[in-house]
């Protein structure tokens, strides 16, 4: 998918809407699909938060992810859950593009050479028709001007949905699920690895691991959301 086609597809979702997608209130001048009040209702992730620290520790221990950059907490019944569901299952791809643009604000100034979306299994991508992380990556790219390389990391193993799995089961499920092709495109490069929602970090770590093994210099994990972890996670 190139920048032009993804931008056009995303832009179509924003046309001819006068009420907020989430709360139904009338949109004000300059607002598109989501009102300012709903955007401000999202809970931002803080670097001193328990969840953020746990994931940073996991990434440090795994030695594949060098830095975590994320925006909001994924909370049931809140806006981000609605956006993520519509992006994944209802083809409202503009939400991914817009969230990618917001993510770019936390990435400005960081050393990034290429952007790589975490790939879906080909079967899942055929069923859905697209990979939601592609649109987040393109949103980041549209602001920062960094190229997106969607064909470097591939899923080579079909994995079951991770929704009901605990941290250890997720790690086992995703093990050896990725492979790098065209390694010359990322060798010696600083990579931004983009996913939508990070839960335990197993998927990001596994994808980052193959990137490092293929010669990536650094890997930054970028996501639009984190699932809050409890003490038993």
User: What is the domain extent for residue 208?
Assistant: 43-227
Query: What pLDDT score was predicted for residue 156?
Result: 83
In this structure, is residue 165 part of a structural domain? yes
How many structural domains comprise the chain?
1
In sequence order, the β-bridge partners of residue 181 are none
- For 144, half-sphere exposure in the C-beta direction (CA atoms, 13 angstrom radius) is 26
Which domain CATH number covers 131? 3.40.50.2020
In this structure, is residue 180 part of a structural domain? yes
Summarised one tens digit per residue, pLDDT across range 141-172 is 999 999 999 999 998 866 656 555 656 666 66
In this structure, is residue 98 part of a structural domain? yes
Q: What is the pTM of this model?
A: 0.86
In this structure, is residue 90 part of a structural domain? yes
In sequence order, the β-bridge partners of residue 64 are none
In this structure, is residue 15 part of a structural domain? no
Query: What pLDDT score was predicted for residue 165?
Result: 60
Closest CA to 148 of 139, 157, 156: 139
Closest CA to 197 of 39, 73, 60: 73
Q: What is the mean pLDDT of the chain?
A: 86
Query: What pLDDT score was predicted for residue 72?
Result: 96
> Does residue 228 surpass a pLDDT of 70?
yes
In this structure, is residue 35 part of a structural domain? no
In this structure, is residue 18 part of a structural domain? no
> Does residue 176 surpass a pLDDT of 80?
no
Report the alpha-carbon distance of residue 214 to residue 182 in Å, rounded: 9
- Residue 125 pLDDT class (50, 70, 90 cuts): confident
Higher per-residue confidence, 83 vs 166: 83
DSSP H helices in 26-185: 36-41, 50-62, 79-89, 94-107, 122-128, 132-144, 167-174
In this structure, is residue 31 part of a structural domain? no
| Interval 74-87 mean pLDDT | 89
Report the alpha-carbon distance of residue 133 to residue 152 in Å, rounded: 14
Query: What pLDDT score was predicted for residue 4?
Result: 43
Summarised one tens digit per residue, pLDDT across range 24-74 is 899 998 888 899 999 999 999 999 999 999 999 999 999 999 999 999 999
Q: What is the phi/psi pair of residue 106, to 5°? A: -90, -5
């Amino acid at each position: 998918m190139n920048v032009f086609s993804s931008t056009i597809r995303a832009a179509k979702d924003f046309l001819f809407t006068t009420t907020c997608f989430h709360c139904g209130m009338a949109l004000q001048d300059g607002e598109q699909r989501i009102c300012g009040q709903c955007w401000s209702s999202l809970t931002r992730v803080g670097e001193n938060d328990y969840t953020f620290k746990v994931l940073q520790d996991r990434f440090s221990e795994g030695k594949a992810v060098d830095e975590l950059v994320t925006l909001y907490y994924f909370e049931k019944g809140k806006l981000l859950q609605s956006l993520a569901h519509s992006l994944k299952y209802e083809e409202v791809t503009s939400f991914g593009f817009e969230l990618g643009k917001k993510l770019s604000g936390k990435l400005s100034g960081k050393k990034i050479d290429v952007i790589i979306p975490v790939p879906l299994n080909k079967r899942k991508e055929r069923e859905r028709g697209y990979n939601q992380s592609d649109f987040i990556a393109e949103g980041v790219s549209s602001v920062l001007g960094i190229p997106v390389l969607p064909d470097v990391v591939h899923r080579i193993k079909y994995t079951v949905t991770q929704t009901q799995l605990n941290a250890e089961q997720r790690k086992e499920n995703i093990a050896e699920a990725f492979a790098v092709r065209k390694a010359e495109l990322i060798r010696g490069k600083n990579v931004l690895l983009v996913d939508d929602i990070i839960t335990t970090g197993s998927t990001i770590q596994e994808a980052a691991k193959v990137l490092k093994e293929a010669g990536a210099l650094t890997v930054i994990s970028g996501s639009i959301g984190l699932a809050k972890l409890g003490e038993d996670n």
